[in-house]
Amino acid sequence: MSKQEKHKILLIEPSEIVAAGIKEIIGRFTEFEIVNTLANPGYYNPARMEADIIIINPAVIDYNERFDIRSFFGGENEITAIVALTYTSYEESVLRQYDGCIGIYDTAARIAQKLHTAIEESQLAPKNELNELSTRERDILVAVAKGSTNKEIADQFNISVYTVISHRRNISRKLGINSIPGLTVYAIMNKLVDISDFN
Amino acid sequence: MSHNEVLYSRRMKTADLIATDSGLLSILQRLGIKLGFGDETVADTCHRYGLSTELFLVICNIFSHRNYEPKIESLDENDIKHITNYLRSSHKYYKEVCFPAIHESIHRLVKELDNVSRRLIDKFYDDYDNEVNIHFSYEENVVFPYIDTLFGKGCKQNNGFRIAKFEENHSNIEEKLNDLKNIIMKYLPEDSAPTLRFQILNDIYALENDLCKHSLIEDKLLIPLVENFENRNE
């Protein structure tokens, strides 16, 4: 990234008041720019994402997914840093997933400093294998290949339908396969399911 | 669109158009324009074949320029029948030229695969082929005839069909083609039909690109023009 280029930020925060406040503060720094604000990660679409930093309130992520935030956003290569925005304290194991953590009482200068540190941190951290499916994704792929609906998958894994959709989007993006028949072909060819399940 | 790309104009020579982008040859072929047009301008050629020059230019611009956004302002409702004619002949081109070529290659490909993969790919392709045929016949038997009856022939019986319904039913046949592409490129074993797979991929990429422009013509030209017409004639 060249020096003149701004870091583009996606903000995921359910409170409009807080979102507007963060936006105002970030606007004071020339090196950062909020390009999009979402109230809910369900609206997240990696294909249309230009951001390289995500600031997200961990409260909007399902409890089960909080421990695997990178895979939630698909280990996206353009995304350098994922930063938590917290009103309250979280378990250490939750916050460890993030490249940084902004508290609601932080000063503007502190926020900018934390963002810079987060970018540096994330560049040091080992990147996930970008196109390798995570275990959870592989399980969901098998369920999709066997014909389960999103609702059935959500019930089976005890996660929300939003989360299922988000996983499916990541699976499709990683594999480059979108249709259910295509995913089925992939799953059988890679011996994740047996062809005899289909006869 | 990058700043050095120039859109086509009616005074351009037809031969120069092709020299700029030889991919447009297949558009001429679809529209029944024969070679031997000498130094005619685009407007002359279109006139001789009874085609709408404006529409022809829009279609060529769609095909040649990646980020070109077609607008209906330069067109009017007389162009609608030219659009459906173009879409019909385009279907014919897909059905008689593109799909048979890919089908034939897939047929040769599966012969080199193991039993399981052969069944999978065969079935996947057959289902896709089926879906494409359903999609095309829906347009040919329901949508285009509806548009034909909208214009003249005094026949206004359209059983409540509106073009908006077409938009709803407009399934995305490109998705499976993209999947097939990735399966062939990424997931079949390295040693299965290495040369043939390159050829199939080239064909699929070309077809994919063509289908994408085809939908653009439907979504950005046909549907808005017909919608305008419907609204004015209510």
Residues of chain B contacting residue A188, judged by C-beta atoms under 8 Å apart? 116, 120
Confidence at residue B158, expressed as pLDDT on a 0 to 100 scale: 57
Q: Are residues B179 and B130 in the same domain?
A: yes
Residues in chain B: 234
The residue out of B6, B30, B64 marking a domain boundary is B64
Residues of chain A contacting residue B176, judged by C-beta atoms under 8 Å apart? 179, 181-182
CB B24 within 8 A of CB B61: no
Q: Could you give the CA distance from residue B197 to residue B192 in angstroms, rounded to a whole number? A: 8
- Picking from B116, B117, B124, the nearest residue to A181 by CB comes out as B124
Interface contact flag, A190 B187, Cβ < 8 Å: yes
A85-110 residue pLDDT tens = 999 888 777 787 788 899 999 999 99
The region of weakest confidence among A19-23, A57-61, B1-5 is B1-5
Interface contact flag, A177 B179, Cβ < 8 Å: yes
Reported as type and span, the H/E element at residue A36 is strand A32-38
Shortest distance, CA B89 to any CA of chain A (angstroms): 28
> What is A135-198's CATH number, 1.10.3210.10, 1.10.10.10, 1.10.260.40, 3.40.50.1100?
1.10.10.10
Q: Are residues B139 and B177 in the same domain?
A: yes
Interface contact flag, B183 A188, Cβ < 8 Å: no
The region of weakest confidence among A91-95, A183-187, B198-202 is A91-95
Domain A7-124, what architecture?
3-Layer(aba) Sandwich (3.40)
State percent of chain A over pLDDT 90.
Answer: 42
Shortest distance, CA A194 to any CA of chain B (angstroms): 10
Residues of chain A contacting residue B182, judged by C-beta atoms under 8 Å apart? 175-177, 182
| Chain A residues 141-180 with CB within 8 Å of chain B | 175-179
Residues of chain B contacting residue A195, judged by C-beta atoms under 8 Å apart? 116, 119-120
Interface contact flag, B116 A190, Cβ < 8 Å: no
User: How far from chain centre, in Å, is Cα B171?
Assistant: 14
Residues 6+ apart with CB under 8 A from A21: none
Per-residue 3-state assignment (H helix, E strand, C coil) for A74-134: CCCCCCCEEEEEECCCCCHHHHCCCCEEEECCCCHHHHHHHHHHHHHHHHHCCCCCCCCCC
Residues 6+ apart with CB under 8 A from B155: B149
Instruction: Give the strand order in the sheet containing A53-56.
Output: A32-38, A7-12, A53-56, A81-86, A100-103
The region of weakest confidence among A32-36, A50-54, A167-171 is A50-54
Confidence at residue B78, expressed as pLDDT on a 0 to 100 scale: 86
Interface contact flag, A182 B117, Cβ < 8 Å: no
Burial of A16 (0-12, 13-18, 19+ CB in 10 A): exposed
Q: Are residues B201 and B171 in the same domain?
A: yes
Q: How many CB atoms lie within 10 A of CB B28?
A: 19
Beta bridge pairs of residue A25: none
Confidence at residue A162, expressed as pLDDT on a 0 to 100 scale: 87
> Whole-number mean pLDDT of chain B?
88
In chain B, the number of structural domains is 2
Using the Cβ of A192 and the Cβ atoms of chain B, whether some distance falls under 8 Å is answered with no
Q: Higher confidence at residue A138 or residue B6?
A: A138
Q: What is the domain range of residue B185?
A: 79-232
- Picking from B117, B127, B182, the nearest residue to A177 by CB comes out as B182
Task: Tell me if B73 is assigned to some domain.
Answer: no
Q: Which whole-number Å values give the CA distances from A21 to A26, A37, B38, B110, B115, in the listed order?
A: 9, 12, 67, 59, 61
Interface contact flag, A179 B186, Cβ < 8 Å: no
| Domains in chain A: boundaries | 7-124, 135-198
Interface contact flag, B183 A182, Cβ < 8 Å: yes
The answer to pTM > 0.80 is no
SS3 of residue A177 by DSSP: coil
